[in-house]
């Protein structure tokens, strides 16, 4: 009986250290964020895995927001003139709540991302792969 309890403890410990493959990881890289990075004070991290978009923010109170990729739609890129000069941009992604009320859909912003066009395409491809893997089909209203 003790042996069984030990096996359960080992299994739960293994589950706490879940490994997942990070496809892309980055931080905001605007002028202010670059200054904070030099001081090691830039605490926002964006990650794309094969299943989730992960946004970690905060120092004293760390908040991790995970969004399943299959719920994301239409990654858009917006670059201001200064952002284009710095090689950064903002990515906006719509979170589809599968609600009939379109006003409940929210947008998530990944702010001041380096190589934004490359990251947008990578995110779009990861969303498409996750939707295909889960065999999800969408129907548009006419």
118 part of a folded domain: yes
12 part of a folded domain: no
Give the CATH number for residue 119.
2.30.29.30
Q: What is the mean pLDDT of the chain?
A: 84
106 part of a folded domain: yes
How many structural domains are present in the chain? 1
State in Å, rounded, how far the first CA of the chain is from the last one.
61
* Enclosing domain of residue 126: 21-134
Contact 49, 21 (CB under 8 A): yes
59 part of a folded domain: yes
- What digits encode the pLDDT tens for the residues 47-96? 999 999 999 999 889 999 999 999 999 899 999 999 999 999 999 999 98
15 part of a folded domain: no
The pTM (predicted TM-score) of the whole model is 0.78
């Amino acid at each position: 009986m003790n042996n069984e309890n030990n096996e359960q403890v080992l299994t739960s410990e293994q589950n706490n250290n879940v490994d997942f493959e990070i496809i892309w990881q980055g931080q905001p890289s605007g002028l202010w964020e670059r200054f904070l990075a030099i001081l090691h004070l830039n605490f926002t991290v964006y990650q794309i895995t094969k299943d989730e978009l992960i946004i970690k923010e905060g120092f004293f109170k760390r908040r991790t927001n995970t969004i399943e990729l299959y719920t994301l739609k239409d990654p858009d890129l917006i670059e201001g003139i200064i952002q284009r000069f710095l090689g950064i941009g903002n990515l906006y992604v719509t979170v589809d709540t599968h609600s009939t009320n379109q006003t409940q859909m929210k947008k998530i912003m990944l702010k001041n991302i380096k190589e934004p066009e490359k990251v947008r395409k990578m995110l779009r491809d990861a969303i498409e792969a996750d939707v295909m893997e889960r065999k999800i089909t969408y129907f548009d209203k006419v």
